[in-house]
Amino acid sequence: MTTGGHFTYFITVFLMIAGLFIVIARGNLIKKLIGLGIFQTSVYLLYIAPGKLLGGTAPILSDAFTVYSNPLPHVLILTAIVVGVATLALGLALVVRIREAYDSIEEDEILSLDVDQAHRKQEQQ
């Protein structure tokens, strides 16, 4: 296998690392979700790319063809995409609620707001 043959894997790993890095390094809640989206997308590629064979055709049996692509990864990833959409939707909904409650979507600001609140509570007691 040549380096070119691993082309899809290079892209997969790049997307994977980039996504995970954004999730960890960014404090903005929306950016974190974007990173998560990229991270999850890389997995779609990991599954789908090896399913395609060069010169392969759709898996409908026929005398004219001998090489078929594997359809199963597509089906799996269709499910994974749905899961990814649901996760993203829920994440965004939570961010909307967080912004209503804290008036901020920066993680460090929100955490410091919580700390302030805890201090005030202790002083009251």
Partner 1 sequence: MNLSEHLPVLQVVVPLVAAPLTVLLRKRSLAFATVLAASWIAFGIAILLWMKVASTGAFSYAIGSWPAPWGIEYRVDPLSTFLLVLVSGVAAIVLPFSRASIESEISTQQHYLFYTMFALCLTGLLGITVTGDAFNVFVFLEISSLSTYVLIALGRDRQALLASYQYLIMGSIGATFIVIGIGLLYLMTGTLNLADMGQRIGAVQGTRPVLAALAFLTVGISLKLALFPLHQWLPNAYTFAPSAVSAFLAATATKVAVYVLIRFYFSVFGESQVFDRLPMKEAMLLLALAGMFIASTYAIFQTDLKRLFAYSSVAQIGYIILGLSFGSATGLTATVLHLFNHGVTKGAVFMLLGCVALAIGGTTMTRVQGLGKRMPLTSFGIVVCGLSLIGVPGTAGFISKWYLLLAAMEKGQWWLVFLILASSLLAIAYVWRFVEAAYFREPRKGTAAARPVPWLMAVPTAALVVATVYFGLETSFTIGSATKAAALLMGGLR
28, 43, 69, 74: which one contacts partner 1 (CB under 8 A)?
A: 43
Q: How far is the CB of 48 from partner 1 (least distance, A)?
A: 10
Task: Give the residue with the Cβ less far from partner 1, 18 or 98.
Answer: 98
CA–CA distance, 25 with 88 (Å, rounded to integer): 19
- Report if residue 3 touches partner 1, rule: CB under 8 A: no
Give me the phi and psi of 57, to 5 degrees please.
-120, 180
CA–CA distance, 51 with 70 (Å, rounded to integer): 5
Q: How far is the CB of 40 from partner 1 (least distance, A)?
A: 5
**Could you tell me the two tokens for 4?**
């070119």
- Report if residue 56 touches partner 1, rule: CB under 8 A: no
**Could you tell me the two tokens for 63?**
């005398």
